[in-house]
Amino acid sequence: MSLRSPSEYRQSLRDGRKIHYRGARVEDVTIHPALRIAVDHAAIDYEMAEDPSTRDLATVSLPDGRRISRYYHIPGSAQDLRDRSTLIEKATARGGTLVVLIKEIGTDALFALHIVASQMDRLLGTGYLKRVESFCSRCRDQDLALAVAQTDVKGDRSLSPSEQDHPDYYVHKVRETSEGIVVRGAKIHTSVSVNANEIIVLPTRALQEKDRDYAVAFALPVATPGLTLIASPYGDSPKNAFEHPISSRHKMVETLTVFDDVFVPWERVFLNGEWQHAGVLAKAFVEFHRFTAVSYKLPLVDLLVGCGQLLSEINGIERAGHVREKMTWLVAYAETLRALTRMAAHECRVLDPGVAVPSVLLVNLAKWHFASNYHRAVSLVQDLSGGLLVTGPGEEDVQAPEVGDYIRKFLGGRKGVSAETRLKAMNLVRDLTASEFGGYQEVLAVHAEGSIEAEKLTIYREADVRRCRALAMQLAGINEEIK
Amino acid sequence: MSLRSPSEYRQSLRDGRKIHYRGARVEDVTIHPALRIAVDHAAIDYEMAEDPSTRDLATVSLPDGRRISRYYHIPGSAQDLRDRSTLIEKATARGGTLVVLIKEIGTDALFALHIVASQMDRLLGTGYLKRVESFCSRCRDQDLALAVAQTDVKGDRSLSPSEQDHPDYYVHKVRETSEGIVVRGAKIHTSVSVNANEIIVLPTRALQEKDRDYAVAFALPVATPGLTLIASPYGDSPKNAFEHPISSRHKMVETLTVFDDVFVPWERVFLNGEWQHAGVLAKAFVEFHRFTAVSYKLPLVDLLVGCGQLLSEINGIERAGHVREKMTWLVAYAETLRALTRMAAHECRVLDPGVAVPSVLLVNLAKWHFASNYHRAVSLVQDLSGGLLVTGPGEEDVQAPEVGDYIRKFLGGRKGVSAETRLKAMNLVRDLTASEFGGYQEVLAVHAEGSIEAEKLTIYREADVRRCRALAMQLAGINEEIK
Amino acid sequence: MSLRSPSEYRQSLRDGRKIHYRGARVEDVTIHPALRIAVDHAAIDYEMAEDPSTRDLATVSLPDGRRISRYYHIPGSAQDLRDRSTLIEKATARGGTLVVLIKEIGTDALFALHIVASQMDRLLGTGYLKRVESFCSRCRDQDLALAVAQTDVKGDRSLSPSEQDHPDYYVHKVRETSEGIVVRGAKIHTSVSVNANEIIVLPTRALQEKDRDYAVAFALPVATPGLTLIASPYGDSPKNAFEHPISSRHKMVETLTVFDDVFVPWERVFLNGEWQHAGVLAKAFVEFHRFTAVSYKLPLVDLLVGCGQLLSEINGIERAGHVREKMTWLVAYAETLRALTRMAAHECRVLDPGVAVPSVLLVNLAKWHFASNYHRAVSLVQDLSGGLLVTGPGEEDVQAPEVGDYIRKFLGGRKGVSAETRLKAMNLVRDLTASEFGGYQEVLAVHAEGSIEAEKLTIYREADVRRCRALAMQLAGINEEIK
Amino acid sequence: MSLRSPSEYRQSLRDGRKIHYRGARVEDVTIHPALRIAVDHAAIDYEMAEDPSTRDLATVSLPDGRRISRYYHIPGSAQDLRDRSTLIEKATARGGTLVVLIKEIGTDALFALHIVASQMDRLLGTGYLKRVESFCSRCRDQDLALAVAQTDVKGDRSLSPSEQDHPDYYVHKVRETSEGIVVRGAKIHTSVSVNANEIIVLPTRALQEKDRDYAVAFALPVATPGLTLIASPYGDSPKNAFEHPISSRHKMVETLTVFDDVFVPWERVFLNGEWQHAGVLAKAFVEFHRFTAVSYKLPLVDLLVGCGQLLSEINGIERAGHVREKMTWLVAYAETLRALTRMAAHECRVLDPGVAVPSVLLVNLAKWHFASNYHRAVSLVQDLSGGLLVTGPGEEDVQAPEVGDYIRKFLGGRKGVSAETRLKAMNLVRDLTASEFGGYQEVLAVHAEGSIEAEKLTIYREADVRRCRALAMQLAGINEEIK
C-alpha cells in the first residue's frame, strides 16, 4: 500500500490514543463534535490523491510504478520545490485557506533530519541517516499522517533547559536501556497531533554541553503509552455554516503534548546527546517549514484580495479612489509574497544527501513580509466590507417569517445584489477576520513557524552585508581596514 | 426623580418592546441569556451614580439642589468637555474597555439637536428648540437610557434616498396627521437599542430637495407600536469567565431597527422636511459623537499597553530591545490619542445656544490616529504574548485531575509566575484581540462613529491649508494669484 | 566598426549640437566644466566593453563573429533579460550608483518599437518594422549613444494635446513633405541628451482621434537643425572629491528639448498619425524602461545597506538593538527589490517579433517597492551616521596647519578609526543623501520612469483579481453572479 | 540698555573672535561671503523686537518699565510657555523655516541651569543659583546672542570620558586656580556660535565618579583666548535667490569648538566636579530644548503642507483622489505636531525656582512624531511637485534671449499659471527638499536636539505604564503580584 483512502485514514485514528478535551478523555476523534472537523479537514489530503483533477499534483510515481504522496518526494531541484509549494497552495485553498498540514510539516522535519543525520554521520561516524531513511520510507509507504512537536514549554525563557526550576520544562532523556531511550517533558503548540499517526519530536533551540540530555530527536506513534495530548478548545463555539462558512468546515487543533516517561526504541531515535547538532537540526527544520508556511499563506492572502474586491462591488464602491488605493495595497501584498516564495524555490541550494533547500534569505523575507503586514491587510478588508460585519442578523433571523422579510427588504446591497448574497459575503469576511478563526489566523501570522524577531535575525544574518559594505568603502575611498 | 437605581433601570426595560433574537421574540431582555449581559453592562451607568467613589464624577448638582447624571449636563466650556470625557473614560474602564453608551450617544444627539434647532429657529422661524429642550429635560429628569438610530440601510450607496429601488432604504415620512407624522424604513448598527428607553432618530447624510421627506429627526420610546428591533447575535457563543474575562461580563448589542409605519407625535419631531439642515444635523451629531468615541477608546489603548507590559514580564522578555521598541510604540499610540483628545476639549468653540463643541479638526485627528493604527497595536500585543494565545487549554482542563496537574507543572512562566496567572493573562489578551469580542473591537475601530475616509475628509477640510499655502507663496516670491 | 573606444565616443559629440547651459551656448560638451562630468560618466559604457574584467558581460558576439554591445542584443529569453539586468547593475555600480543610461534607455525604446511596429504592420499593413530594424542595426553597428525624449511639457494636465492653450505643448507634426515630416514642440526631462548621438522621440500618452497629429515617433541625430537642448544646471555647485566622492565624478544631465520645425526623413519616422497605437507604444517603452530602472537601483540600495553598516561600525554602535533593527529593514528593502527584479525576468513573456518582455506586474511591484520606501531608507542611513553629516569641516580645514591637527585629534571614531576615515565615510553618506545629488536621487526615486501612481495603477490592472474574487465567492457559497 | 538694534548686534561680533572657515581665518563674520548670511539671519531676532507688528510678541516689560526680549523671560506658567512657543514659531517663519536660535537655545540652557543650580544649592550647600541668575541678568540686560556647546566629540561611544584613548575627547577641567578653572577639549555641532556673543558649555551625558573632572558647566565670551571655532562649510555652494529662495537668505552655521586650555573665572562656572548632577543638567537642558525644537518645526511642517497644496494647484491635480490622500496625510502630520506641542505647554510642571517645564512625555511624543515622519512628508511634497524639481532651467536661462522665450512658451502650468510662477514654486520645493539645505533639514530632523532613540527611550520612561499594567491585571483577575 502506498496511498490510503480517506476512510482508511479515519480508521487509523481509532487506535486508543490518549486525548483530553475540555477535561474529558476523547474516545474517538473521528466522531468527537469538535475534533471531527479537524479530521475531516485533514482528510482533504487523501481526497486530493484520489480526485482526478488533483491526482497528478498530489502524487508522484516511483521508478517501480507505485504512486506515492508528493509530500514524501524529497525535493532535489528548484522545480521539485516549486511543485511542492504549488501542492501546498492548492491543498490549502481546498481547505478554505487553512493548511492541511498532516504531511507538510512532517516531511519538513524529515528533510531536515536527512540533512543533519548525513552531517552527523560524516562528522561523528554515527549511523543516523539509515534510521531516518528507514522511518521515512515507512511513513511514505504507509501514507501516514505526521505531526511535529518542537516547541518546549520553556518555563523561564532567559534560562537554558538545565537551569530551569524543574528539569522537565524541556523534553529530555531520563535514561537509556538496551532497546532505546526513555523521555520526559512537554511540548506545546503541537498542530494536527490529535489526527496524525506519528509525532516527530525535535529540539527547539541550540544547546550547550550541560544540556546534553535535552539533545533528543525521535518519532513515536500517537498511541504510545505515556503520551498524553491535551487539546486546545480554542475556537470551539458552535458554528453554523451560514455564519461561519470557513470555520464550520475547517479546523486545526493544537495540543499540549506530555511525555511522561515514554519509551522510544533505537530505530526511532535520531539525535541522542549530540548537543552541538541540536540547534542545526532545529533551524534546518524551521527554515524548511517556513517555506511550507509561505506556500500555504498564498490562498489566505488571495482570499483577502478577493474579499476586498467582492465586498467593494457589493457595496457599490469599487470605483472610489480610496478603494482602489486599498485594493492595490492588498494586491501588492499578495503578489510580493508569491514572487518571493517562488524566488526562494528558484534560488535553492542542494545539500547532502541531495535535498534542495529553498533560499533561507528569501524564505524569511517572504515570511516577514507576510507576518508584519497581515493585520494591516485585515484592517483594509474590514474597512471595505462595512460595519455590518459585526451587526448583522443570525441564520435563524433570515429564516423567521416576519423578520426574514424585513431582512430581505432592507439588507440588499446595490441593485442586483440580494440580501442573502450580501450577508453570505459579510459572513465570509467576518469568519475570516472578526471571529475566533480570524483571531487564530492573526496569531498564527505572528507566531507560527517562528517569531517575527527570528525572521528578522535570519534576514540580517543571511544577507551579503559585507559586499554592500565593500562597495561603500570603495566609493568613500577608504583603504584603511576597520576592525 | 432625577437619578434611577440599577434595578429601576432594569425594571423600565420590561415594557413589551418588540425584540427578535435568532428568529425568536424576546420576552424580557433583562433575563435573556445573551441580552442580559448587555443590560448588566449598561447598568454600570446607574451604579456609578450611586457609588461614593464615582458619584461626584458621574453626577452634577442642579441649582435647585437635585443631582442629575453628568451626561445630561450641556457642556458650556472646555472644562465641562474634559469632565465629560473623563467620565466616559472611567465608565468604559469599569466596563472592561467596552463603552457603556446608554447616555453618551443620546446626549451627543441632544447637543447636536440643540445647536441645529437653534439655527433653524433663527433662520426659518420654526420652534424646534423648545421641543428639543423639553424632550431633553424629560430624559434628564427621568434619568433615561437613550439609543440613537442614524445609519440607514442605504441600498445602493451611489444613489440618493429617492433614487433607490424602493423608497424605504432610508427612513422617511409617509404622511402627516394633525397629531404628528408617520414614518417608515430601517436603520442598522443601532447600538444599545435593546436596553434603552428612548431611540433618537437622525438623518444620516446631506439631502437634496427631492429627498425632502427623508429629512426627519425624532424620538420614540422603544416600545412604540410598529417598531421592531432585530438584534445581532454576533458574539453569542457561550463564554466562561476564565476563557473570556471581558466578554463574558460586558456586551453591547446592535439592531436592525425597523420602522413599519410608526406614528410620532409633534412634540417629538425635531426635523420635518427642512432638507437643507439634514446634513448639518447629521454632521453635528457625528462630530460630537467622535469626541465621545476618542474618550471611550482611552481605556482600550491603555489596556493594550498594559497587556503588552504584563505579558512581556510574564514571558520574561521585558528587557529585550525589540520588546522595548514595541512597548514604546504602544505607549506613544495611547498617549498621542489622550493628548489629542484633551486638546480637542481645550480648543473648543461655544455655539448657540451655549454648547461647547470640541475642535472638529482635533477630534478627527484623534479618531484617525486611533483607527488607522489599531490593528498594528493588536499585532504587537499578540506578538508580545506568544502563540499560547490560541493553543492553550480550557477551563475544564485546568480543573481536571491528571490533566490539571500537567498544566500546572508545564505551563508556568518565568520563576514566580504560576500557570494559572499566565493563563489568566493569556486569556485576557485572547478575549481582547483574538476572539469574537476582539473582532468586534477591530471592526468598531474602523467603522464606528463614521468611516476612516470620513475622518480623513474632515481633517483636510478643517485644517487651515490656505495659511500654509500663503506661506509657500510668500517664500517662493509669487505675487501672481493662482485661480 | 561595432564597438567604439571612449575617445571615439567623445569625439563623436563634437558635432555642432546646439546646447545651452545657464544662458550660454556650449561649444564643446566634452570640455565644458559641468557637462564633461556627464560625458566622462557616460564613457564608462565604452570602457567596460574594453575592460577585460567586464568585456564578456558588456558585449556579445554576433554569428558573424563581430562583437557588439550587449545592450543592442534583443532579449529573447529570461536568461537574456537577467544578463541585461546584471550588466545594467554592474555598470551602475561602476558609475557610483548613477546609471550610465546611454544605451539602456535607447534600447528600451527600440525593443518597444519592435513590438509595436510589428503589431501595426500586422494590423494596418504598414512597413514600420523594417524601418525600426534598419535604424536599430545602424545604432548597433556604429555603437551609438542614445537618448529618449518622451515626456511632453504638457501645459494643463487635465486637457488633451489638441485642447491646450497653444498647440505646441505636445510635440506634433506640422506638415508632411515627400521626404518626411516636420515636427514642433518640446519635451522635458530628457536624460543624457547632451552626450548622446541620437534622440529617439516617443509619444507620452494614449491619444484620441482628434490628437492624430500628436501621434508621432521618430529618431534624430542630436545635431539636427532646429533642435535646441536647454540643459538643467541642477547640481552644478563646485565639488571637490573629498566632500563629494560620488557627484564630483558622476553626473547625468537632463534637458528641455525644443523641436522648432525640425525635419525628419521617412526612414526615421516610426509612428505617423496612428493614434490608436500611441498609448501602446508609450506604455511598452515605459514597462521595459521600468525593468531597466529596477536593475539600476540595485547598486543604490546596496550602497545604502553598506553605508548603514560602515557608519554603524565607525561609530561603534553596530551591536545596539535599534541598529540591528534598522539594518535589517535596510537589508530587507534591498533584497526584496533584487528578488522582485530577478523574478520579473524569470516570468517574462515573449512577444512578436521575438522580444522577451519582463513581467509587467513584477516590474511594477519592484519599482513601487523601491520608490515608496526610498526616503525611509535614506532616513535610516542618516540616523545611523550621525549629525556630523552636515556639521563637519571642509577639505581645506583638514589640510590647514593648526586646524587640521585639531580635526585629526578630535574627530576620530572608535579606536582604530582615524578622523580621515570617519570623514570620508561621512562625506559619502552626505553626498549620497544630504546634497544636491542626494536630492536628485530622492526625486528620481519618486518620478523617474513614471510616477508612483502610475505604478500602483499598473499593479492593480495586471494582477489576477478575478481569480481571488472567484475564491471568495466559492468560499462564501455565492452562486448569484454580481454585475 | 535692554534691547539692541540689529546694527548694534552686528557690531558686537567684530571682537577678534577666532573663527576658521575652509582653512582660513575669518577676519569679520559680518562681511564674510558665507557667514554673513548667518549673521543676517540671526539679526531677525533684533528686527522683530523693533518691528511694531511683532514687538509685543518679541518683548516683555519688566516691572521697572524696561522692555526685554521675551526669550529672557523665565516661564512661570503654561501661558508663558505657549507665548514663548508662539514667538519661536513666528521668528522661524520669518526665517524662512530656519530657526533663528540665538536666544532660544541659550535660554533653554539658562532655564535648566536655574533648576539644577537650585537643586545643587539645596542638596550640596553650593551657591550656584546666584551665579546663574547674575549671568542670566547680564545676558538679558545686554540683550546678548547665545550659543550652547553640549555635544562632545566623544571618540569611542561605548567608553566613558576617562576611558578614552586620550583624555580630551570630552571637555574637562585641566586645573583650578584661585580665580577659576582651566578647561580643555572640543565640542561639535555648536550652532550659531560664529555669530553669538556668549557660549554656554554643558555636559553631554551622565557621569560616574571617575569622570569627576568632566563634570563642568560654564559660559564664555566667544572671543576668549584659547577658543577656536572651526566652521562647517556645509551648504556653501553659491546660490542665487531665484534658484534658492530660502537658503540664499537664511543660514545657520555649526562649529567644531576647540577649548585649548581656556580659563574660566569662577563667576562663570556653574558646575565643577558635582558629577551626580551632570546627567540631570544635560537632560534638563535637552528636554527644554526639545520644546524649542517642536515649536520651531511648526513653520517647516506648515510649509510642506503649503508647498504640497500650491504645487498641486499649479500642476492642476489638486482634485485627484491620490492628491487628497497625500495632502490629508501632510495636514495631519502638521496639526498633530502642533496639538502635541501646545498640549506639552498646557500640561507643564513648575519646578524650583519657579520655572515652568513643559510635559516631558508630550514634548518627546511631539518630537518623535516630527522626526520619524519627516522624510515621508518630504517624499509626498516631491511627489506632488513633479520631476521638474531637478530638471529645470537656471536663472540665466530664463533671462537669455531665445532660450528665455522657449522657457516661457513651454514651461507654463495650467491655464493662468505662467512659467515664471511655476519655476518659482518648483525652486522653493527644490531648495526646501532637494538641495544641500534640504539635506540639512533632513539630518536635523533625525539628529538635532537628541536622537530618535533618545526620544523613544524618554517616552517609554515617562509614560504611566504601571497604571495600564494594573488595569490589565484587574481585568485578568490576577491577584498574585509579579516580581
SS3 for D205? coil
Contact criterion met (CB below 8 Å) for B406 and A258: yes
**Residue D319: C-alpha distances to residues A405, C73, C158, C332, D322 (Å):** 43, 44, 11, 35, 9
Nearest to C476 among A93, A368, A424 (CB): A424
- The reported pLDDT for the residue numbered C238 is 75
* CATH of the domain spanning C6-275: 2.40.110.10
In sequence order, what are the residues at sequence separation of 6 or more whose Cβ sits closer than 8 angstroms to the Cβ of residue B471? D93, D299, D302, D303, D306
Which residues of chain B, if any, have pLDDT below 50?
Answer: none
Q: Read off the C-alpha cell for C26.
A: 556650449
Phi and psi at residue C97, to the nearest 5°: 80, 0
D-chain CB neighbours of A321 within 8 Å are 320-322, 324-325
Task: Concatenate the DSSP letters of all residues of A297-340 into one string.
Answer: THHHHHHHHHHHHHHHHHHT-TTSHHHHHHHHHHHHHHHHHHHH
A-chain CB neighbours of D321 within 8 Å are 320-322, 324-325
SS3 for D146? strand
- The reported pLDDT for the residue numbered D164 is 92
Q: Which long-range contacts (CB under 8 A, 24 or more apart) does A316-325 make?
A: A316/A413, A316/A414, A316/B156, A316/B157, A316/B158, A317/A384, A317/B157, A317/B158, A320/D321, A321/D320, A321/D321, A321/D322, A321/D324, A321/D325, A322/B453, A322/D321, A322/D325, A323/A384, A324/C460, A324/D321, A325/C456, A325/D321, A325/D322, A325/D325
Which H helix or E strand runs over A364?
Answer: helix A360-385
Q: Which residue of D has its CA nearest to A319?
A: D321
Which residues of chain C, if any, have pLDDT below 70?
Answer: 1, 483
In sequence order, what are the residues at sequence separation of 6 or more whose Cβ sits closer than 8 angstroms to the Cβ of residue A193? A147, A149, A199, A222, A229, A253, A254, A255, A257
Interchain proximity B447–A254, CB inside 8 Å: no
A198: left (phi over 0), alpha (psi -120 to 50) or beta: beta
- The reported pLDDT for the residue numbered B1 is 59
Q: Which residue of B has its CA nearest to A228?
A: B403
Q: Which residue has the cell 518526494?
A: A73
Distance between CA atoms of residues B382 and B404, nearest Å? 25
SS3 for B17? coil
In what side-by-side order are the strands of the sheet with A198-201?
A: A146-149, A198-201, A216-221, A269-272
Q: Would you say how long chain D is, in residues? A: 483
Q: Tell me how far the alpha carbon of residue A53 is from its chain's centroid.
A: 24
> Given CB atoms, is B156 within the 8 Å cutoff of chain A?
yes
Which residues, listed in sequence order, are joined to residue A172 by a DSSP beta bridge? A184
Nearest-CA neighbor of C443 among D383, D479, D242?
D383
Domain ranges of chain D: 6-283, 297-470
Q: How many helices (H) and strands (E) does chain C have?
A: 17, 14
- The reported pLDDT for the residue numbered B136 is 98
Q: Read off the C-alpha cell for D11.
A: 557690531
CATH of region B6-276, choose from 2.40.110.10, 3.30.460.40, 3.30.465.10, 3.20.20.140: 2.40.110.10
Q: Read off the C-alpha cell for B60.
A: 452634577
Q: How far is B469 from chain D (nearest CA, A)?
A: 4
Contact criterion met (CB below 8 Å) for D32 and D22: no
Interchain proximity D448–C387, CB inside 8 Å: yes
Distance between CA atoms of residues A221 and A262, nearest Å? 11
**What pTM does this model have?**
0.97
Residue D147 has a CB neighbour count (10 Å cut-off) of 28
Q: Cα angle vertex D81, ends D76, D84, to 5°?
A: 120
Contact criterion met (CB below 8 Å) for A455 and A414: no
The C residues from 83 to 122 touching D (CB cutoff 8 Å) are none
Which residues of chain D, if any, have pLDDT below 70?
Answer: 1, 483
Q: How far is B321 from chain C (nearest CA, A)?
A: 5
Interchain proximity A434–B444, CB inside 8 Å: no
* Identity of residue B481: E
Q: Tell me how far the alpha carbon of residue A343 is from its chain's centroid.
A: 20
Q: Encode pLDDT of C21-55 as tens digits.
A: 999 999 999 999 999 999 999 999 999 999 999 99
> Given CB atoms, is A20 within the 8 Å cutoff of chain B?
yes
Distance between CA atoms of residues D448 and D371, nearest Å? 9
Q: How far is C445 from chain D (nearest CA, A)?
A: 9
Best mutation target among D184, D261, D375 (most C Cβ atoms within 10 Å) is D375
Residue A165 has a CB neighbour count (10 Å cut-off) of 13
Contact criterion met (CB below 8 Å) for C476 and D470: no
Distance between CA atoms of residues C286 and C291, nearest Å? 9
Which H helix or E strand runs over A408?
Answer: helix A401-410
> Given CB atoms, is D439 within the 8 Å cutoff of chain C?
yes
Largest Cα–Cα distance in chain C? 85
Nearest-CA neighbor of B312 among D455, A157, A153, A162?
A157
Which H helix or E strand runs over B422?
Answer: helix B419-433
Phi and psi at residue D172, to the nearest 5°: -150, 165
Which residues, listed in sequence order, are joined to residue B265 by a DSSP beta bridge? B180
Contact criterion met (CB below 8 Å) for A438 and A429: no
Q: Which residue has the cell 518640446?
A: C186
Within C236-351, residue ranges assigned H as helices are 278-296, 298-315, 321-346
Q: How many helices (H) and strands (E) does chain A have?
A: 17, 14
Q: What chains are in contact with B, requiring at least 3 Cβ pairs below 8 Å?
A: A, C, D
Q: How far is D381 from chain B (nearest CA, A)?
A: 12
Distance between CA atoms of residues A174 and D41, nearest Å? 79
Interchain proximity A322–D325, CB inside 8 Å: yes
Strands C254-265 and C180-191: antiparallel
Q: How far is A310 from chain C (nearest CA, A)?
A: 6
Contact criterion met (CB below 8 Å) for A440 and A234: yes
Q: Which residue has the cell 469538535?
A: A34
In sequence order, what are the residues at sequence separation of 6 or more whose Cβ sits closer than 8 angstroms to the Cβ of residue C257? C149, C186, C187, C188, C190, C193, C199, C227, C228, C229, C230
Burial of A391 (0-12, 13-18, 19+ CB in 10 A): buried
For helices C419-433 and D436-447, angle between their N-to-C axes, nearest 10 degrees: 110
Q: Which residue of D has its CA nearest to C184?
A: D410
CA torsion sign for C264, C267, C269, C274 is positive
Q: Encode pLDDT of C99-134 as tens digits.
A: 999 999 999 999 999 999 999 999 999 999 999 999
Best mutation target among B309, B340, B343 (most D Cβ atoms within 10 Å) is B343
Q: Cα angle vertex A127, ends A126, A131, to 5°?
A: 140
Q: Tell me how far the alpha carbon of residue A248 is from its chain's centroid.
A: 20
Q: How far is A127 from chain D (nearest CA, A)?
A: 48
Which residues, listed in sequence order, are joined to residue A190 by a DSSP beta bridge? A255
Which residues of chain A, if any, have pLDDT below 70?
Answer: 1, 483
* CATH of the domain spanning B297-470: 1.20.140.10
**Residue A258: C-alpha distances to residues A24, A147, A193, B129, D214 (Å):** 16, 14, 12, 71, 60
> Given CB atoms, is D400 within the 8 Å cutoff of chain C?
yes
Interchain proximity D456–B483, CB inside 8 Å: no
- In the 8-state DSSP scheme, what is residue B182? E
Contact criterion met (CB below 8 Å) for D29 and D19: yes
Topology, domain A6-283: Butyryl-CoA Dehydrogenase, subunit A; domain 2 (2.40.110)
Distance between CA atoms of residues D66 and D64, nearest Å? 6
Q: Encode pLDDT of C252-286 as tens digits.
A: 999 999 999 999 999 999 999 999 999 999 999 99
- The reported pLDDT for the residue numbered D222 is 98
Interchain proximity C186–D410, CB inside 8 Å: yes
